[in-house]
Amino acid sequence: MTIKSFGVVGAGQMGGGIAQVAACSGFDVVLFDLNEAALERGVGVIAGSLARMVKKEKLSQSEADQALSRIKQTTAMSDMSVVDIVVEAASEDEEIKKTIFRNLDEICKPGAILATNTSSISITRLAAVTSRPGQVIGMHFMNPVPMMQLVEVIRALQTEDAVFDAVNQLSLDMNKVPVDVNDAPGFVSNRILMPMINEAVFCRYENIATAEEIDTVMKLGMSHPMGPLALADLIGLDTCLSIMQVLYDNFKDSKYRPCPLLVQMVDAGYLGRKSGRGFYQYD
């Protein structure tokens, strides 16, 4: 299976990052979002990221310009009919993702791979709503996508070996390190990471220490490059809550119960960097 063209559904933080890395790797990219304003914001973030890479001499100006020129913006999902693979990077909501996969199944050409960047939802259930379950797979990129090397390549129960091999090679072609992971709630990354973040939120909830002090303990004591609460703000507290709810609902184990403070902050709209306020304040 040869992949030459690349589609991304969702021009937010993750979708934009995936589109940027694909374009920098030489792929023609179709970037879809529901409205023009979201697309413009997403491409603006990509342009800013590329400019920073030029400034740091990680790319030439010519390479950055070429990458940006490879990204086609669209509000018509039907434009995904030409791509060899499409990666869904919409909100972490199973029903939204199932609707997208049903639509892509009708739109995409025979043989096209349908991938999802979900950070916790069952790939097997997403595959089951399509007529091509063997061609559905997970590509879980890490945030920020241009900087982080890892991609969890997640097989649904139905995923064909040829599809896995193609996506594994695609990840290498994008200068990422693919890790073979089977379908399970939270996969490997978030099954380990999110309970740690949730426990850090409990430490704040119980007033054991301030956010800064909790993060300092983990940075200086555990050599983490970023504290768990700052990381939660970067990921988005709504996304963290969604993942914890997936873990709790699937495992029925109280150790995955979302911290009440995390629930309250999401209810208040304190979502982290993207809203300007989370455990820290942002400009």
Helical spans, DSSP H, in 108-222: 123-128, 161-173, 189-205, 211-222
Same domain for 198 and 173, yes or no, is no
Q: Give the pLDDT mean for 259-283.
A: 97
Is 1 a residue whose pLDDT tops 80?
A: no
Domain residues for the domain of 205 are 190-274
Q: Give the pLDDT mean for 168-184.
A: 97
Same domain for 118 and 252, yes or no, is no
Same domain for 178 and 194, yes or no, is no
Is 252 labelled as part of a ligand binding site?
Answer: no
Is 15 labelled as part of a ligand binding site?
Answer: yes
Is 14 labelled as part of a ligand binding site?
Answer: yes
Same domain for 177 and 194, yes or no, is no
Q: How far apart are CA 220 and CA 11, in angstroms?
A: 35
pLDDT at 168 (0 to 100): 97
Is 143 labelled as part of a ligand binding site?
Answer: yes
Q: Which residues are catalytic?
A: 119, 140, 152, 190
Total number of domains in the chain:
2
Task: Using only the alpha carbons of the chain, give its radius of gyration.
Answer: 19
Q: How far apart are CA 149 and CA 268, in angstroms?
A: 33
Same domain for 33 and 57, yes or no, is yes
Mean pLDDT taken over the chain:
97
- Boundary of a domain, candidates 122, 148, 182: 182
Same domain for 79 and 151, yes or no, is yes
Q: Give the pLDDT mean for 25-48.
A: 96
pLDDT at 2 (0 to 100): 86
- Boundary of a domain, candidates 147, 182, 217: 182
Report helix, strand or coil for 56.
Answer: coil
* Least confident segment among 16-20, 70-74, 90-94, 135-139: 90-94
**What residues contact 111, with CB distance under 8 A and at least 6 apart?**
1, 84, 135
Supply the CATH number for residue 42's domain. Answer: 3.40.50.720
**What residues contact 61, with CB distance under 8 A and at least 6 apart?**
54
Q: How far apart are CA 281 and CA 115, in angstroms?
A: 35
Is 183 labelled as part of a ligand binding site?
Answer: no
Is 10 labelled as part of a ligand binding site?
Answer: yes
Q: Give the strand order in the sheet containing 150-155.
A: 71-74, 28-32, 5-9, 85-88, 113-116, 136-141, 150-155, 177-182
Is 107 a residue whose pLDDT tops 80?
A: yes
In contact, 179 and 151? CB cutoff 8 Å: yes
| Residue 280 counted as domain residue | no
Is 236 labelled as part of a ligand binding site?
Answer: no
Is 56 labelled as part of a ligand binding site?
Answer: yes
